[in-house]
């Protein structure tokens, strides 16, 4: 049941314990080719999704995730290497698209599904608010964490199933379409323009995004930089965005030094005309609201935080949502590391301040498994960052950053679980003579017990 999945531990059960959604089992989607036509005014999406799959179980039927606001019109299939794959029927219910085949597909076949669908895309209602494709005052955005991707394309919506993508969006002029990956071409025909993007590194469904708006480009890195850093901003916010993101390229440089090479070809930020409650991460791209760009650096910590997710969360993806601290703990710690670099305020001082805040609250969240209701609770973020800080204190700076770089390099473009981090910590502890028991005690105290451990103090 776990064969070929990116994760190292078995898939637990048949349902995602956090989203409450049944897994789509028996196959992998290797690549998504999404050809979308979007009309901004009426908020109308017409799509053809071509999925390249292989199956690790014989299949007579399979499911994908797709929101009921999008209706499938037609599905065709094509097997490769002499395998006949024919769709006999399909139906949509409860957010699932169930496809039945005319005859059983033998195990380890490769095949393609071409799914035509259309509708008025709407965000999906979830316990974490509405997620996915959302109409803006003047455009659209997609922010899907954790389970909003089916609001705009049929998919296997689970974080441990990464795939390659080609995303083609045709929309009305003069709107700009920003998508993950590399812009391959942009062609205008009449009143509409087609933007073709390619994502050449594996990506989780929740990190796929389309941003449509009346935007102008802004280069945030030096001309000819190895990793170009760009912004797409409403024309009226151009100057304040330039000011607000002035350090973005320096942040990228710092994190490259601390964590290893930036995992993708480029980094972009999109600033929407609308206000957004919080900034949002996607692969190779982050989304901020107009309210985050007032030119006063009030959101500097989140500008650093979202960038660091490119390493922690996007390149190193999660196998399951209960491990969310691996994303958010490192991203929060990356904020403190940025301030350590830019202001000289040591991360230990940031850690102490947040330790005091957490200590004043009830200790009701288990970091290793906070539960769906609390998965985005600030205590998960801060206790996660304190756990990272405890590891730094235990190993010492040199060994700690060596360990982090090895963890990042090993998990690159894949998924990680806490066991992968622990393995690197134990290896580094051995190398610098820290007893294994101390690693195990730290791990248990911070991750698997409710009680807040003492603040991590360096040994003398
Ligand atoms: Zn985050």
Mean pLDDT for 304-318 is 98
Q: Are 131 and 124 in contact (CB under 8 A)?
A: yes
Q: Which positions ≥6 away from 293 have C-beta within 8 Å?
A: 233, 237, 240, 241, 244, 271, 299
Which of 300, 306, 335, 424 is flagged as catalytic? 306
Question: What are the structural domains of the chain?
Answer: 1-205 (2.60.40.1730), 215-310 (3.30.2010.30), 319-447 (1.10.390.10)
Choose the catalytic residue: 381, 407, 417, 428. 381
| Tokens describing residue 114 | 């071409």
Q: Is 328 annotated as a binding residue?
A: yes
355-370, pLDDT tens digit by residue? Answer: 999 999 999 999 999 9
Could you confirm whether 197 is annotated as catalytic?
no
Q: What is the mean predicted confidence (pLDDT) over 28-33?
A: 97
Q: How many CB atoms lie within 10 A of CB 52?
A: 18
| Distance of CA 277 from the midpoint of ligand 1 (Å) | 13
The pLDDT value given to residue 165:
98
Instruction: Give the distance (Å) from ligand 1 centre to CA of residue 281.
Output: 7
Q: What is the mean pLDDT of residues 98-105?
A: 97
The residue written with tokens 């049929």 in the block is 154
Residue 2 has pLDDT above 70, yes or no: no
pLDDT for res 460: 62
Q: Is 297 annotated among the ligand-binding residues? A: no
386 has pLDDT over 60 = yes
Q: What is the pLDDT of residue 5?
A: 53
SS3 444: helix
- Give, in order, the Cα–Cα distances in Å from 169 to each of 77, 116, 175, 209: 23, 15, 11, 11
Evaluate the omega torsion of the peptide bond into residue 86 and state whether it is cis, within 30 degrees of 0: no
**Ligand 1 midpoint to CA 308 (Å):** 9
Cα–chain-centroid distance for residue 30?
A: 17
Under the banding of pLDDT at 50, 70 and 90, the label for residue 6 is confident
* Ligand 1 centroid distance, CA of 112 (Å): 34
List, for residues 399-457, the tens digit of each pLDDT value: 999 999 999 999 999 999 999 999 999 999 999 999 999 999 999 999 999 999 999 99
- Start-to-end Cα distance in the chain: 49
State in Å: Cα 189 to ligand 1 middle.
Answer: 39
User: 33 pLDDT exceeds 90?
Assistant: yes
CA of 278 to the centre of ligand 1 (A): 10
Identify the residue whose tokens are 């107009």.
290
Q: What is residue 139's predicted lDDT score, i.e. its pLDDT?
A: 96
Q: Could you count the other beta carbons within 10 Å of the beta carbon of residue 82?
A: 6
Binning pLDDT at 50, 70 and 90, where does residue 4 land? very low
The number of helices, as runs of H, and strands, as runs of E, in the chain is 9, 22
Is position 306 annotated as part of the catalytic site? yes
- Nearest in space to 62 (alpha carbons), one of 34, 83, 91, 33: 91
Q: Which tokens sit at 101?
A: 């085949």
Confidence check: pLDDT of 329 > 90 = yes
Q: Which range has the worst mean pLDDT, 7-11, 182-186, 295-299, 388-392? A: 7-11
Tokens 């025909």 belong to residue: 189
pLDDT bucket at 9, cuts 50 / 70 / 90: confident
Confidence grade of residue 316 (pLDDT, cut at 50, 70, 90): very high
């Amino acid at each position: 049941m776990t064969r070929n999945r990116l994760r190292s531990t078995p898939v637990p059960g048949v349902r995602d314990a956090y989203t409450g959604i049944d897994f789509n089992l028996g196959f992998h989607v290797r690549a998504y080719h999404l050809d979308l036509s979007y009309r901004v005014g009426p908020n109308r999406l017409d799509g053809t999704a071509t999925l390249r799959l292989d199956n690790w179980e014989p299949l007579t039927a399979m499911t994908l995730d797709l929101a009921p606001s999008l209706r499938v019109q037609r599905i065709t299939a094509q097997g490769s290497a002499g395998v006949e794959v024919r769709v006999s029927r399909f139906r949509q219910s409860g957010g699932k698209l169930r496809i039945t085949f005319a005859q059983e597909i033998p195990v380890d076949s490769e095949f393609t599904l071409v799914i035509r669908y259309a509708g008025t895309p709407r965000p999906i209602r979830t316990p974490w608010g509405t997620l996915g494709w959302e109409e803006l005052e003047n455009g659209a955005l997609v922010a899907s964490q954790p389970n909003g991707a089916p609001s705009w394309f049929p998919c296997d919506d689970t974080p441990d199933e990464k795939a390659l993508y080609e995303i083609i969006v045709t929309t009305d002029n003069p709107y700009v379409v920003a998508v993950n990956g590399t812009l391959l071409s942009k062609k205008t025909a009449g009143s509409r323009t087609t933007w073709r993007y390619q994502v050449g590194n594996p990506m989780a469904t929740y990190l796929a995004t389309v941003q449509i708006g009346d935007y102008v480009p802004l280069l945030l890195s030096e001309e000819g930089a190895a990793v170009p850093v760009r912004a797409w901003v409403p024309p009226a916010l151009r100057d304040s965005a330039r000011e607000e993101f002035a350090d973005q390229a320096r942040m990228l440089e710092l994190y490259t030094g601390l964590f290893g090479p930036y995992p993708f070809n480029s980094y972009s930020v999109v600033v929407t005309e609308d206000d957004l409650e919080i900034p949002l991460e996607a692969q190779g791209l982050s989304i901020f609201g107009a309210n985050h760009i007032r030119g006063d650096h009030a959101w500097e910590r989140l500008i650093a935080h979202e960038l660091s997710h490119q390493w922690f969360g996007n390149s190193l993806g999660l196998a399951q949502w209960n491990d969310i601290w691996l994303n958010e703990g490192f991203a929060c710690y990356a904020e403190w590391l940025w301030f350590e670099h830019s202001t000289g305020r040591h991360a230990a001082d940031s850690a102490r301040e947040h330790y005091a805040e957490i200590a004043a609250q009830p200790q009701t969240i288990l970091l290793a498994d906070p539960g769906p209701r609390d998965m985005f609770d600030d205590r998960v973020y801060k206790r996660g960052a304190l756990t990272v800080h405890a590891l730094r204190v235990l190993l010492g700076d040199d060994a700690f950053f060596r360990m982090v770089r090895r963890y990042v390099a090993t998990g690159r473009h894949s998924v990680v679980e806490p066991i992968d981090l622990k393995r690197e910590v134990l290896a580094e502890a051995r190398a610098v003579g820290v007893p294994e028991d101390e690693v195990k005690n730290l791990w248990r105290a911070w991750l698997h017990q409710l009680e807040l451990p003492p603040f991590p103090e360096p040994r003398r």
